[in-house]
Structure 1
Amino acid sequence: MSNKTGFICDESYFWHDTGNGALFLRSGGWVESDVHSENPATKRRVKNLLERTGFIQQLITISPRMATREEIEYNHGPAYIDQVKKLSDQMGGDAGAAAIVGTGSYEIALLSAGGALTGLDDVMKGQVDNVYVLSRPPGHHAEKDLGMGFCLFNNVAIAAHYARKKYGLKRILIIDWDVHHGNGIESAFLNDPEVCYISLHQEFSFPPDRGQAEVIGEGEGKGYNINIPLPAGTGNAGYLHALNHVAVPIAEQFQPELILIAAGQDPSAFDPLARMMVTAEGFRKMTALVKQMAEQLCQGRLVVCHEGGYSAAYVPVCTMRVIEELSGQKSQMVEDPFQLGIEALPTEVLLAHQEEAVKRVQQIHADYWKFD
Structure 2
Amino acid sequence: MATGFYWDERCFWHAGGNYALTLPVGGLVQPQVSGGLPESPETKRRLKNLMDVTGLSAELDQRSAAPADRETLERVHPASYLDAFKDLSEAHGGEIGHHAPFGRGGFEIAALSAGLACAAVHDVAKGTLANAYALTRPPGHHCEPAAPMGFCLLANIAIAIEAALADNLVKRVAVLDWDVHHGNGTEKIFYDRDDVLTISFHQEGNYPPTSGGIEDRGKGAGEGANINLPMHAGSGHTAYLHAVERVAIPALEAFRPDIIIVACGFDASMVDPLARMQATSATYAGMTQRIKDAADRLCQGRLVLVHEGGYSEAYVPFCGHATIATLAGSAVAAPDPMLPSFDIRQPSPAFDAFLRRSIDDMAAKLGL
TM more than 0.5: yes
CA shift digits 1:175-200 (9 cap, x unpaired) = 00000001000000111011000100
Q: Which stretch shows the higher mean deviation, 204-213 or 323-332?
A: 323-332
Aligned to 2:246: 245
Instruction: Supply the distance in 1 between the matched residues of 2:93 and 2:26 (Cα, whole angstroms).
Output: 17
Amino acid in the other structure paired with 2:50:
L
Aligned to 2:17: 19
Aligned to 1:110: 111
Helix, strand or coil at the partner of 1:300: coil
State the 1:151 CA deviation. 0.2
State the 1:36 CA deviation. 2.0
Q: 1:348 to 1:57 in 2, by over 3 A?
A: farther
Instruction: Supply the distance in 1 between the matched residues of 2:331 and 2:89 (Cα, whole angstroms).
Output: 41
CA shift digits 1:93-127 (9 cap, x unpaired) = 11211001211110000000000111112112222
Amino acid in the other structure paired with 2:4:
G
| Residues 142-221 of structure 1 aligned to structure 2 (within 5 Å) | 142-221=143-222
Cα contact 1:235–1:348 (8 A) shared by 2: no
Aligned to 1:339: 339
Q: Which stretch shows the higher mean deviation, 160-169 or 97-106?
A: 160-169
Q: How many residues align?
A: 364
Aligned to 2:30: 32
Aligned to 2:359: 358
- Corresponding position: 1:6 with 2:4: yes
CA shift digits 1:291-332 (9 cap, x unpaired) = 111111001111110000000010010000010001101224
Q: Identity of counterpart residues, as a percentage?
A: 44
Which structure 1 segments of 5+ residues have no match?
A: none
Which structure 2 segments of 5+ residues have no match?
A: none
Instruction: Supply the distance in 2 between the matched residues of 1:147 and 1:29 (Cα, whole angstroms).
Output: 29
Instruction: Supply the distance in 1 between the matched residues of 2:14 and 2:26 (Cα, whole angstroms).
Output: 20
Instruction: Supply the distance in 2 between the matched residues of 1:42 and 1:305 (Cα, whole angstroms).
Output: 15
Instruction: Supply the distance in 1 between the matched residues of 2:102 and 2:284 (Cα, whole angstroms).
Output: 30
Instruction: Supply the distance in 2 between the matched residues of 1:32 and 1:281 (Cα, whole angstroms).
Output: 36
Instruction: Supply the distance in 2 between the matched residues of 1:82 and 1:28 (Cα, whole angstroms).
Output: 33
Aligned to 2:256: 255
Amino acid in the other structure paired with 1:142:
C
Instruction: Supply the distance in 2 between the matched residues of 1:12 and 1:283 (Cα, whole angstroms).
Output: 27
Aligned to 2:84: 83
Aligned CA RMSD, in angstroms, stands at: 1.5
State the 1:356 CA deviation. 3.3
Amino acid in the other structure paired with 2:71:
E
Helix, strand or coil at the partner of 1:259: strand
Normalised by the length of structure 2, the TM-score is 0.95
Cα contact 2:17–2:102 (8 A) shared by 1: no
Cα contact 1:17–1:105 (8 A) shared by 2: yes
Instruction: Supply the distance in 2 between the matched residues of 1:214 and 1:88 (Cα, whole angstroms).
Output: 38
Helix, strand or coil at the partner of 2:176: strand
Instruction: Supply the distance in 1 between the matched residues of 2:263 and 2:104 (Cα, whole angstroms).
Output: 26
Cα contact 1:174–1:259 (8 A) shared by 2: yes
Helix, strand or coil at the partner of 1:148: coil
Q: Which stretch shows the higher mean deviation, 304-313 or 63-72?
A: 63-72
| Residues 290-301 of structure 1 aligned to structure 2 (within 5 Å) | 290-301=291-302
Instruction: Supply the distance in 2 between the matched residues of 1:152 and 1:26 (Cα, whole angstroms).
Output: 22
CA shift digits 1:123-165 (9 cap, x unpaired) = 1222210101001000000011110000000001111111211
Q: 1:140 to 1:29 in 2, by over 3 A?
A: farther
Instruction: Supply the distance in 2 between the matched residues of 1:27 and 1:91 (Cα, whole angstroms).
Output: 20
Instruction: Supply the distance in 1 between the matched residues of 2:31 and 2:106 (Cα, whole angstroms).
Output: 21
Amino acid in the other structure paired with 2:39:
E
Cα contact 2:193–2:221 (8 A) shared by 1: yes
State the 1:357 CA deviation. 2.8
Instruction: Supply the distance in 1 between the matched residues of 2:24 and 2:129 (Cα, whole angstroms).
Output: 40
State the 1:30 CA deviation. 4.5
Q: 1:225 to 1:340 in 2, by over 3 A?
A: same
Aligned to 2:236: 235
Aligned to 1:125: 126
